[in-house]
Amino acid sequence: MKNRKTILFSAALSAVLFVSFIISSQEPWNPFQLMEPRNLAEILSDPGQPQPLIISIGPSGLIKGAVAANPAKEKENLEKLRAMLVKEPKDRNLVIYCGCCPFKDCPNIRPAFTLLNQMGFKNHKLLNLSQNLKVNWIDKGYPMN
């Protein structure tokens, strides 16, 4: 009986790990490249901390200190993002966000994050606005421009 439970548990764990791998391999970012909104808000509220370059790659409002590259689903805006970043050091702390809709539906985050990967950036993050900018940032009272 105990052996059967161990086998079932191992099989279930393997299935979960396999599904997690498949899902994560479909995104251009890994789980360590997601930044929680509260973490960015804490950085922004502490002038003693190095501030990342924050880039809005969607149509939503601007987080405090962010610059707009506009929706990355449009080729000309993706080129604008490339031009903004071409002279930045590859180890620069970057945070991109969209916030137009839930991640699964967002047309902007994947092309922008893929571009950062292709450009060779090493310290780039995607702000984890899993629902949208209003729910995950504004409603929590985090700073806006």
**Res 102: pLDDT:** 92
Print the domain residue range for 77.
28-140
Residue 123 neighbours by CB distance under 10 Å: 14
Would you say residue 19 lies in a domain? no
Bridge partners (DSSP) listed for residue 55: 67, 96
Q: Is the pLDDT of residue 7 over 90?
A: no
Asked if residue 123 belongs to a domain, the reply is yes
CATH of the domain at 40: 3.40.250.10
Q: What percent of the chain has pLDDT over 90?
A: 78
Comparing CA positions, the residue from 118, 64, 128 lying closest to residue 96 is: 128
State the pLDDT confidence band at 61, using cuts at 50, 70 and 90.
confident
13 pLDDT above the threshold of 60: no
Q: Beta 94-97 vs 124-127: how paired, if at all? A: parallel
